[in-house]
Amino acid sequence: MAFKCPACKKQWDVSLQVARHIFGTGDKKHREWIESQGVSYADLLVQQATNPGNASYQTVADLVEKAQDKL
């Protein structure tokens, strides 16, 4: 199945990819969507930048998956 970016509707096969796209774009539109999910964009980004692994991306990927029904 394809996953759409909740902010701009671009789509990928994997939700993690959408999460990477959201961080990689990082503009206001995408930041706001993350914030609207009740998590802090900055916190996630700092976590991603300073710790090994991909915990932040996974968090967002999960949110992206949950959001698919409403798109």
Q: Which residues bind other proteins (CB under 8 A)?
A: 17, 20-21, 23-28, 40-43, 45-46, 48-50, 52
Q: How far is the CB of 13 from other proteins (least distance, A)?
A: 10
Residue (38 or 70) nearer to other proteins, CB: 38
Q: How far is the CB of 1 from other proteins (least distance, A)?
A: 17
Could you please report the per-residue DSSP string of 7-39? Answer: TT--EESSHHHHHHHHHHH--HHHHHHHHHTTS
**Selection from 64, 50, 65 nearest residue 22 by Cα:** 64
